[in-house]
């Protein structure tokens, strides 16, 4: 006996996924999907490492689905797709988590808890949830190698990072410098941008602002300013007056227009000339000033006058005063270096004329932009040399107080009142300074100003921007490379790469690598105390050689890595050592001149960890050298992460790769949007709208979840996650596909179809078969293109549309009788083969997105026919597009037939005539003879579908007077021809009478006068449609018109009754649980009228209901009473024992 197709009572996507998952595990399908492609071209994929100390969320399901879709697709295309999972194990989120758990703060590390213990706690915490992550990964069917993941804290991984850093060092890309970083004086610690971007960090505060007069050194000014008869001042505005003592430059915009204004200081009434941006004169001189136009009214000013007069003199560009000098505003101290370069006018791109004066007070020790622009112009920051600390210090200490070198009354005071722990003085430093500057005639304006300012999330006090020592990668040196390499990357969507990422690259700053934390990769640089000698370590072998030197010189007692054997690449060897703090901090090395060298205490930015994964995941170049050098696993063909990674992982991958090998790290990158809740709000635990992915998977299974996420919105757009959408996908797409299979299985099993018969040539098959195959191959082409273009959304929509509309709702519905009626003929075999082939192809097309259900479908189909040698759909090959099966005229015909049918249904509805009631004839008016011909071929189909006996054509002529035509201008064609007279032409054409239209149709052209000249309009330039036919029930749509003869004669009426009866009997059969093939004995008791209908159609009724006998008007014992055609009839269905 041949095998049967599996039949199911119901669709259980969840159960299906569980079984398939088991099957994959049992048969090692994932590994086979890679090994079976041995020797084929590689499709290289990099998986971004998640941090395993947090629980996975629904957005991870999204991200992992996208990754999985393309890896599976390319496997199906025959490529070999390795994919290694990874874990991000270092960094601040992990440290913060541990601190919270242990209930400690950063300052406690090294005191309450040793660094060693702290790091052990981090290491333990970081892999805590790996089991849950693995479970999710399995459940959603994300195929990735979880057995051999790369883990950023592994010694091998760190060794590669050190090697890369050394390469950068040798290229001169690594340097130590100071930068301005967010700093919390109250907490005594620097803050990361991550901490700064925590919700609520930015708050509105009100500051005292001063518009300050900086007195120009006249000899340094250009001629036209030099010759002014009084003192000239630059006006600059500041929101942080306490930084004025650290001012070393003023920044202007090169191309901004400035002007010099003659006026009086509003506090001292001294006559002054002030320079500011021309467009801001009105704003700065808004209150208490009035413009005057001549010298005399200006010079006659007395301080009793209500308004201070001002007069703008000559204007000029910023570049004209570039390099001019000014007197130090608060001459308390001088910078210890290059003081001669201080106090000059420099230019910066960040200067705007939206606020202030267009001249920016620049204090390089306390502003990020200030430091950058000052450095570019070689202007020194205000730093003093501290003899005790042997280092340069700014005028404010790490507590936030002015240092002792600052004169009274400011010395020792906190720069912001918020920093006082107890009672703050009545007047803040800012206010005191404002008073001081007013008294010496250097304050031009003092105002309160409200703006948003970042606060420390721990102390809730405003942060300070403060210079801190850091190690940098000179990414700016590789900017040109990075920009041009980026142009070769295919970004999806394009705008992320071109705009967001492109602009970011254009405005690149050097990469600050330093993190003064505990749990991370230590910077492998050792330095002597005088900073004259330094050594960078690029491998463990190198480190051990250096340690041994140091031990010999007596600097260290013993080698802490004594157990390590250089050159032995085994995991055991590498597991024996730990390269984290505090162990590496205890290592002292010896410099070439015999001095002791200590490690630079910083850790490196965790983004460097993940950005180096193309190399570090393979322990390059210590192992797997050929994988990278021969380009087998580098660069990636594809990566995908959230759009928030643009400046994160996408950037660090790109930067490291560009600088190391002048190559891209990835060729195609998809940045996916966010998963929002159904109201478009971001999901967060605090809002309580976060969705537990396990719950969703439990409810709907992975396939529906994946399909919903992919098909609902394009991956790069945000998705509003609504679980009712998943349910809809399950019902509509999976439900329909399942039902189609169930239908196939039911009848294939009855007929014993198992694809043993010879392949029926497609040309020999029926119209419907050829049509669905043609549509299928159009689908294959579309789906391939969409997957290839990284647009899975369009692929899934096309598949669902095909399955629901073309396959289930049209092909199967119209073919039903072919399957359950008649003998096992060639036509029936062709139908089975067609449906089988279509379902088979659909299983493959859907496999990347719905891996479990597709597997079930594929296996249920193939295990009976044994036509495929593969154990899994994921080991098979993607369907090829076959041009020869495309029959576009047939597709058009079928489309017309569908439209016609739907029009007839509409008419029946209008006339209240059931589809079961046969009608005599249908008339069709086609707009062209070509159309007419194609409809002809569809007659049988349409007759069956809409239940009419005959179809005739109505020609324009025969229809004659019946038709009312409507003429509409074709704007696309006529628009360019008539231009602005279009409105007139449109008016004329749409007011044509029936007679005029007929004339036009006959003659083919119409002439009209436009602006005195004769213009000709042809029939091709208008659309004529038909409105109605007198005395007929008619409908018209897309140029097709149908008319339905709604007269029902007696014969038709009886036939309708018979069909109605068949339907009732079928329902009874089903209700009684009869098999489709069971034969019955049918008995009916009804009125004479119904009996007559039955008698006339007895053969038909018996055939369709599988009735061996039909008896009428007999006394029936156990019968169903049915409301039927306005009466109650009694029907009995009895199963026959044989048959």
Cβ(237)–Cβ(211) below 8 Å: yes
Exactly one of 568, 644, 1121, 1127 binds RNA (CB under 7 A); which one?
644
Exactly one of 86, 309, 335, 358 binds RNA (CB under 7 A); which one?
358
Find the shortest distance in angstroms from Cβ 551 to RNA: 43
87, 162, 607, 618: the catalytic one is 607
Find the shortest distance in angstroms from Cβ 809 to RNA: 5
Find the shortest distance in angstroms from Cβ 217 to RNA: 21
Take residue 355 and report the two structure tokens written for it.
């606020």
47, 68, 88, 1035: the catalytic one is 88
Segment lying near RNA (by CB under 7 A), choices 196-204, 541-549, 632-640, 1083-1091: 196-204
Find the shortest distance in angstroms from Cβ 543 to RNA: 33
Exactly one of 975, 1020, 1099, 1109 binds RNA (CB under 7 A); which one?
975
Exactly one of 34, 196, 551, 962 binds RNA (CB under 7 A); which one?
196
Exactly one of 328, 398, 476, 718 binds RNA (CB under 7 A); which one?
718
Instruction: Give the nearer residue to RNA in terms of CB position, either 353 or 459.
Output: 353
Take residue 706 and report the two structure tokens written for it.
């994946």
237, 649, 716, 810: the catalytic one is 649
To the query of whether residue 88 is one of the catalytic residues in this protein, the response is yes
To the query of whether residue 49 is one of the catalytic residues in this protein, the response is yes
Take residue 430 and report the two structure tokens written for it.
């800012």
Which residues from 222-241 bind RNA, rule CB under 7 A? 236-240
Instruction: Give the nearer residue to RNA in terms of CB position, either 76 or 729.
Output: 729
DSSP H stretches of helix in 882-968: 888-911, 929-936, 939-946, 956-959
Does position 713 interact with RNA (CB under 7 A)? The reply is: yes
Segment lying near RNA (by CB under 7 A), choices 127-135, 479-487, 781-789, 901-909: 901-909
Number of residues forming the site for RNA (CB under 7 A): 113
Could you give the string, one character per residue 911-940, with x where binding to RNA holds by CB under 7 A and - elsewhere? Answer: -x-xxx------------------------
| Whole-angstrom distance, CA of residue 17 vs CA of residue 853 | 7
Which residues from 373-412 bind RNA, rule CB under 7 A? none
To the query of whether residue 87 is one of the catalytic residues in this protein, the response is no
The total of other beta-carbon atoms located within 10 Å of residue 18's CB is 15
262, 344, 645, 833: the catalytic one is 645
Q: How far is CA 362 from CA 1, 153, 207, 258, in A?
A: 91, 42, 18, 18
Angle value at C-alpha 598, between 592 and 603, nearest 5 degrees: 125
Does position 1052 interact with RNA (CB under 7 A)? The reply is: no
| Whole-angstrom distance, CA of residue 944 vs CA of residue 949 | 9
Exactly one of 360, 382, 835, 1110 binds RNA (CB under 7 A); which one?
360
Find the shortest distance in angstroms from Cβ 981 to RNA: 7
Could you give the string, one character per residue 721-740, with x where binding to RNA holds by CB under 7 A and - elsewhere? Answer: -x-xx--x--xx--xx--xx
682, 910, 933, 1095: the catalytic one is 682
Take residue 678 and report the two structure tokens written for it.
């159904």
To the query of whether residue 685 is one of the catalytic residues in this protein, the response is yes
DSSP 803: I
Instruction: Give the nearer residue to RNA in terms of CB position, either 240 or 872.
Output: 240
Cβ(772)–Cβ(683) below 8 Å: no
**Neighbouring-strand partners of residue 1008:** 1015
Exactly one of 712, 774, 796, 843 binds RNA (CB under 7 A); which one?
712
Instruction: Give the nearer residue to RNA in terms of CB position, either 366 or 992.
Output: 366
| Whole-angstrom distance, CA of residue 932 vs CA of residue 1068 | 42
Take residue 245 and report the two structure tokens written for it.
């003592």
Could you give the string, one character per residue 75-114, with x where binding to RNA holds by CB under 7 A and - elsewhere? Answer: ----------------------------------------
Number of alpha carbons in the 13 Å side-chain half-sphere of residue 871: 13
At residue 370, the 3 state secondary structure works out as helix
The total of other beta-carbon atoms located within 10 Å of residue 352's CB is 12
Find the shortest distance in angstroms from Cβ 834 to RNA: 14
Find the shortest distance in angstroms from Cβ 898 to RNA: 9
Take residue 469 and report the two structure tokens written for it.
């020592």
Element (H, E) at 446: strand 443-454
Does position 356 interact with RNA (CB under 7 A)? The reply is: yes
| Whole-angstrom distance, CA of residue 34 vs CA of residue 16 | 24
Cβ(265)–Cβ(441) below 8 Å: yes
Find the shortest distance in angstroms from Cβ 264 to RNA: 23
| Whole-angstrom distance, CA of residue 373 vs CA of residue 367 | 10
Contacts 24+ apart (CB under 8 A), 534-539: 534/597, 535/589, 535/591, 535/597, 536/165, 536/166, 536/169, 536/174, 537/162, 537/166, 538/162, 538/163, 538/165, 538/166, 538/167, 539/159, 539/162, 539/163, 539/166, 539/622
Take residue 697 and report the two structure tokens written for it.
């998977």
Which residues from 1061-1080 bind RNA, rule CB under 7 A? 1062-1063, 1065-1067, 1069-1070, 1074-1076, 1078, 1080
Does position 681 interact with RNA (CB under 7 A)? The reply is: yes
To the query of whether residue 498 is one of the catalytic residues in this protein, the response is no
**Location of structure tokens 């089988």:** 836
At residue 472, the 3 state secondary structure works out as strand
Exactly one of 1105, 1124, 1131, 1132 binds RNA (CB under 7 A); which one?
1105
3-class DSSP string for 134-195: HHHHHHCCCCCEEEEEEECCCHHHHHHHHHHHHHHHHCCCEEEEEEEEEEECCCCEECCHHH
Segment lying near RNA (by CB under 7 A), choices 429-437, 678-686, 851-859, 929-937: 678-686
Take residue 298 and report the two structure tokens written for it.
């200006």
Does position 742 interact with RNA (CB under 7 A)? The reply is: yes
Which residues from 463-482 bind RNA, rule CB under 7 A? 465
Q: How far is CA 885 from CA 762, 771, 881, in A?
A: 8, 9, 9
Cβ(594)–Cβ(553) below 8 Å: yes
Cβ(576)–Cβ(585) below 8 Å: no
**Neighbouring-strand partners of residue 175:** 472
Does position 983 interact with RNA (CB under 7 A)? The reply is: yes
Segment lying near RNA (by CB under 7 A), choices 57-65, 598-606, 714-722, 769-777: 714-722
> Phi and psi (nearest 5°) for 749?
-70, -40
Cβ(850)–Cβ(792) below 8 Å: no
Exactly one of 166, 627, 1059, 1130 binds RNA (CB under 7 A); which one?
1059
Take residue 123 and report the two structure tokens written for it.
């290491």
Instruction: Give the nearer residue to RNA in terms of CB position, either 230 or 975.
Output: 975
Exactly one of 668, 749, 986, 1113 binds RNA (CB under 7 A); which one?
986
Exactly one of 403, 982, 1024, 1048 binds RNA (CB under 7 A); which one?
982
Find the shortest distance in angstroms from Cβ 593 to RNA: 40
**Neighbouring-strand partners of residue 386:** 391
306, 423, 685, 972: the catalytic one is 685
Instruction: Give the nearer residue to RNA in terms of CB position, either 1103 or 1121.
Output: 1103
Does position 246 interact with RNA (CB under 7 A)? The reply is: no
Exactly one of 459, 648, 937, 965 binds RNA (CB under 7 A); which one?
648
Instruction: Give the nearer residue to RNA in terms of CB position, either 809 or 1087.
Output: 809
| Whole-angstrom distance, CA of residue 338 vs CA of residue 720 | 58
Instruction: Give the nearer residue to RNA in terms of CB position, either 161 or 737.
Output: 737
Does position 636 interact with RNA (CB under 7 A)? The reply is: no
Instruction: Give the nearer residue to RNA in terms of CB position, either 5 or 24.
Output: 5
To the query of whether residue 38 is one of the catalytic residues in this protein, the response is no
Instruction: Give the nearer residue to RNA in terms of CB position, either 226 or 817.
Output: 817
Cβ within 8 Å of residue 867, ≥6 positions away: 755
Find the shortest distance in angstroms from Cβ 500 to RNA: 5
To the query of whether residue 471 is one of the catalytic residues in this protein, the response is no
Catalytic residues: 49, 88, 607, 645, 649, 682, 685
């Amino acid at each position: 006996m041949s095998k049967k197709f599996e039949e199911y009572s119901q669709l259980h996507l969840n159960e299906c996924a569980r079984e398939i998952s088991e099957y994959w595990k049992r048969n090692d399908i994932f590994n086979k999907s890679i090994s079976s492609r041995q020797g084929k071209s590689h499709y290289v994929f990099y998986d971004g490492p998640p941090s395993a100390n947090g629980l996975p969320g629904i957005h991870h399901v999204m991200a992992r689905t996208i990754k999985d879709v393309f890896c599976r697709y390319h496997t199906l295309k025959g490529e070999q797709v390795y994919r290694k999972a990874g874990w991000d194990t270092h960094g601040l989120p992990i440290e913060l988590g541990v601190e919270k758990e242990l209930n400690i703060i950063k300052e406690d590390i090294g005191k309450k808890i040793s660094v060693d213990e702290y790091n052990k706690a981090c290491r333990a915490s970081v892999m805590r949830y790996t089991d849950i992550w693995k479970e999710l990964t399995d459940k959603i069917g994300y195929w990735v190698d979880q057995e051999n993941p790369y883990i950023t804290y592994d010694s091998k991984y760190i060794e590669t990072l050190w090697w890369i850093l050394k390469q950068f060092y040798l290229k001169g890309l690594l340097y130590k410098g100071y930068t301005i970083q967010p700093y919390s004086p109250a907490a005594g610690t620097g803050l990361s941008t991550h901490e700064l971007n925590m919700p609520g960090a930015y708050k509105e505060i009100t500051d005292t602002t001063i518009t300050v007069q900086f007195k120009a050194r006249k000899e340094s000014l250009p001629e036209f300013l030099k010759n002014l008869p009084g003192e000239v001042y630059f006006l600059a505005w500041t929101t942080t007056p306490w930084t004025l003592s650290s001012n070393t430059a003023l920044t202007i915009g090169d191309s901004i227009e400035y002007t010099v204004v003659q006026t009086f200081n509003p506090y001292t009434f001294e006559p002054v000339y002030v320079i500011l941006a021309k467009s801001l004169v009105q704003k700065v001189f808004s209150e208490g000033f009035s413009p005057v136009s001549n010298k005399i009214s200006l010079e006659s000013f007395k301080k009793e006058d209500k308004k201070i007069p001002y007069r703008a003199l000559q204007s000029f560009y910023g570049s004209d005063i570039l390099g001019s000098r000014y007197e130090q505003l608060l001459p308390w101290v001088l910078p210890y270096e290059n003081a001669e370069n201080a106090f000059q006018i420099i230019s910066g791109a960040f200067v705007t004329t939206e606020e202030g004066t267009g001249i920016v007070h620049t204090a390089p020790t306390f502003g990020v932009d200030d430091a950058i622009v000052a450095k570019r112009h070689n202007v020194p920051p205000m730093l003093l040399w501290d003899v005790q600390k042997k280092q340069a210090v700014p005028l404010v200490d790490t507590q936030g107080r002015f240092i002792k070198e600052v004169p009274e009354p400011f010395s020792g005071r906190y720069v912001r009142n918020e920093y006082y722990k107890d009672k703050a003085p009545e007047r803040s430093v800012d206010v005191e300074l404002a008073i001081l500057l007013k008294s010496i005639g250097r304050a031009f304006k003092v105002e309160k100003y409200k703006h948003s300012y970042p606060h420390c999330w721990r102390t809730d006090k405003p942060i300070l921007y403060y210079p801190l020592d850091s190690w940098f990668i000179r990414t700016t040196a590789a900017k040109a490379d990075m920009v041009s390499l980026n142009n070769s990357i295919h970004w999806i969507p394009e705008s992320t790469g071109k705009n967001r990422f492109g602009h970011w690259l254009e405005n690149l700053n050097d990469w600050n690598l330093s993190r003064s934390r505990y749990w991370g990769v230590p910077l492998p640089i050792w330095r002597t105390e005088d900073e004259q000698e330094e050594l960078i370590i690029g491998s463990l072998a190198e480190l051990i050689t250096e340690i041994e030197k140091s031990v010999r010189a007596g600097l260290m007692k013993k080698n802490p890595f004594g157990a390590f054997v250089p050159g032995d690449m085994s995991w055991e060897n590498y597991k024996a050592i730990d390269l984290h703090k505090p162990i590496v901090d205890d290592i002292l090395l010896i410099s070439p001149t015999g001095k002791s060298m200590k490690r630079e205490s910083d850790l490196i930015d965790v983004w460097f960890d993940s950005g180096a994964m193309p190399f570090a995941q393979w322990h390059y170049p210590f192992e797997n050298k050929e994988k990278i050098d021969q380009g087998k696993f580098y660069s990636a063909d594809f990566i995908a992460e959230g759009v928030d990674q643009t400046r994160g992982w996408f950037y660090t991958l790109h930067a490291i790769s560009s600088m190391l090998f002048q190559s891209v790290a990835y060729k195609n990158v998809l940045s996916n949007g966010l998963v929002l809740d159904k109201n478009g709000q971001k999901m967060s635990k605090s809002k309580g709208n976060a969705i537990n992915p396990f719950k969703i998977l439990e409810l709907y299974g992975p396939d529906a979840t994946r399909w919903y996420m992919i098909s609902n919105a394009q991956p790069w757009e945000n998705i509003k996650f609504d679980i009712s959408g998943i349910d809809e996908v399950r019902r509509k797409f999976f439900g329909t596909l399942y039902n189609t299979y169930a239908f196939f299985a039911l009848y294939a099993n009855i007929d014993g179809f198992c694809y043993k018969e010879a392949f029926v040539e497609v040309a020999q098959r029926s119209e419907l078969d050829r049509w669905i195959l043609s549509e299928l191959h159009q689908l294959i082409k579309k789906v391939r293109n969409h997957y290839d273009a990284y647009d899975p959304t369009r692929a899934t929509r096309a598949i669902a549309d095909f399955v629901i509309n073309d396959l289930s709702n049209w092909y199967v519905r119209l073919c039903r009788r072919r399957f359950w009626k008649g003998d096992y003929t060639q036509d029936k075999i062709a139908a089975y083969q067609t449906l089988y082939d279509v379902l088979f192809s659909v299983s493959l097309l859907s496999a990347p997105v719905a891996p479990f259900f597709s597997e079930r479908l594929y296996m249920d189909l193939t295990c009976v026919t044994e036509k495929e040698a593969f154990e899994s759909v994921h080991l098979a090959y993607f369907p090829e597009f076959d041009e020869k099966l495309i029959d576009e005229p047939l597709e058009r015909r079928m489309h017309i037939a569908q439209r016609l049918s739907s029009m007839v249904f509409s008419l029946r509805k209008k006339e209240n005539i059931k589809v079961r009631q046969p009608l005599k004839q249908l008339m069709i008016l086609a707009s062209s003879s070509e159309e007419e011909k194609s409809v002809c071929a569809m007659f049988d189909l349409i007759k069956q579908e809409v239940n009419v006996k005959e179809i005739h054509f109505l020609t324009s002529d025969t229809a004659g007077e019946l038709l009312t035509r409507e003429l509409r201008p074709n704007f696309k064609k006529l628009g360019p021809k008539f231009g602005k007279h279009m409105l007139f032409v449109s008016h004329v054409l749409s007011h044509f009478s029936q007679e005029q239209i007929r004339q036009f149709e006959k003659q083919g052209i119409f002439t009209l006068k436009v602006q005195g000249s004769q213009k000709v309009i042809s029939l091709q330039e208008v659309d004529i449609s038909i409105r109605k036919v007198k005395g007929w029930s008619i409908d018209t749509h897309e140029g097709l018109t149908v008319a339905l003869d709604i007269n029902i004669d007696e014969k038709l009426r009886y036939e309708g009754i018979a069909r109605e009866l068949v339907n009732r009997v079928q329902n009874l059969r089903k209700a009684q649980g009869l098999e489709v093939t069971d034969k019955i004995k049918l008995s009916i008791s009804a009125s004479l009228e119904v009996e007559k209908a039955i008698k006339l159609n007895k053969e038909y009724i018996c055939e369709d209901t599988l009735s061996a006998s039909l008896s009428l008007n007999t006394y029936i014992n156990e019968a169903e009473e049915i409301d039927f055609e306005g009466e109650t009839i009694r029907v009995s269905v009895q199963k026959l024992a044989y048959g």
